[in-house]
Amino acid sequence: MDKKAHKLMAEHAMGKVKDLLAKEYLSEKEELTLIHHAHSARMHYGYSSEGNEDEESLQNIKKADDMIVESYTRLGLEDAALWYGKRLI
């Protein structure tokens, strides 16, 4: 998969995360989907920016990392959010 395709996949996953976070209630299936898409966005942004550490790439990765923390927090998984967040420092 080329970098452009990875970026498109990341943007799609981020959109799904934003949609799910905007909902008042999430089913168990949606909760799992939220975590999967948050991590997927981060992974694809990472692949799309390999060897290219421009400002946009760094901002996309940070945005995805923040979404992972926010997703865990939304689900009441503060320990997981803290564990992940500590690795970003």
Measured CA to CA, the distance from residue 14 to residue 79 in angstroms comes to: 22
- Residue 13 DSSP code: H
For every residue of 21-52, which 3-state class applies, written as one string?
HHCCCCCHHHHHHHHHHHHHHHHHHHHHCCCC
pLDDT in tens, 41-79: 999 999 999 887 789 999 999 999 999 999 999 999 999
Sequence spans of domains, the chain: 3-86
Give the mean pLDDT of the chain. 95
pTM exceeds 0.75, yes or no? yes
- CA atoms lying within 13 Å on the CB side of residue 16: 20
pLDDT in tens, 2-44: 999 999 999 999 999 999 999 999 999 999 999 999 999 999 9
